[in-house]
Structure 1
Amino acid sequence: MAKKGKRYAEVSAKVDRSVYYDASQALQLSVDTAAAKFDETIEAHIKLGVDSRHADQQVRGAVVLPHGTGKTKRVLVFAKGEKAKEAEAAGADFVGADELVKKIQGENWFEFDIVVATPDMMGVVGRLGRVLGPKGLMPNPKSGTVTFDVAKAIEEIKAGKVEYRLDKTNIIHTTIGKASFGQEKLFDNFKVLMEAIVKAKPSAAKGQYLKSITVSSTMGPGVKINPVKYAD
């Protein structure tokens, strides 16, 4: 533990916590401070000037990152008939209906990363609300995971689609890639994410929309980005 603490102190010394960095600089620092023995994930944490307790101030959506996330997601699809066949052909990892509900409920089975459902299956999926909801796995039309176009949904997820949504403290936490991507690819992904979040600004939001932006590697220190540059 002492060794880990020393390494963290060394990489943290590269970051001035009192300074706002340009996004490109911040992402380079996130790569430079990813000192673990595995390929660390680079994360973005964006605090918004909204109140997530109000339905008209919710911010939620999904965006396909141009360079993906560096992780292949396991997709579970709730569908029947031709749509089930379509999902299987598109590369879904698991496809089914009531039997999957029983498996999740009875076996506490969660060997998947994202759930897609056709609209006609939402009555079935709704029975899993209490277990999928808290894990952030409940399908939602805003994130494109409730759709009859299951092939397109699967294709986008496999290509690097990420969902963004507010937590209870009005912060969006999401992945923008791996340290091994390097600064340029991470910057491309970051720009696309920020454009989507700015575009998703609720009309009911008042005052400063982007409160703070921080990027970091899994084990590294947070690096602050000036939110003013992304305000428009």
Structure 2
Amino acid sequence: MRNLIFEGPGAYDTDGWDNAILDDCRNVWIDHCEFRDGVDGNFDIKNKSDFVTVSYTKFSYLKTPKAGGSGGTDDHRFSNLIGSSDGATADAGKLNVTFVRCWWAPGCKERMPRVRFGKIHILNSYFNSTVSNKCIAAGVQANILVERNVFENVKEPINLMSGFTAVSQTGNSFVNVTGNTAGSGTAFTPPYSIVKLDASNVKADVIANAGATLSGNICESF
């Protein structure tokens, strides 16, 4: 999937109404897309999905969130969920996902991403949402490599929840952030080679190139 903009009506905590969901999908590449203003979330990956790459993709919230959703969170600008619940044990050994040169942009509050079970490589990405409560969140059996990213003007770049396996952070840049920046344990080693920018070059590259690059490709979700 390439060069698509997925735009929802704005955050409103109603379970399952995401801009897009990968559900029991394998071998998927999302490239140069943009997900914004999802109701429950922008883009979730769950239910035994596996071998997913998300590259040069932008996540944001431009609209004011709506209160009163059935989920109970009045400001649900929660962008990306990997693994649907602590009880979804069939996800164990699945959810191998790479985010590379992505942009968690203004408006994102949490889940950038929030991970259960998966082996997640977050590389050369840019986080700059000033309304953030937390960015990357490691939940049950999460195994996350956070490598050469830029976190700027955000809260809690790395949130270590209960039951995670390991989170390694290496070569990242933290600029005017508050909250935890440390990992814990030793994360997995990705079984592939990939071009890696130094953190000093990430912001300019991502701002210039992340998101849809062609006009007229908008999928609206309601």
Question: TM-score, normalised on structure 2?
Answer: 0.24
The structure with higher relative contact order (CA 8 Å, sep 6+) is 1
Which of structures 1 and 2 has the bigger CA Rg? Answer: 1
Q: Which has the higher strand share?
A: 2
Higher helix share: 1
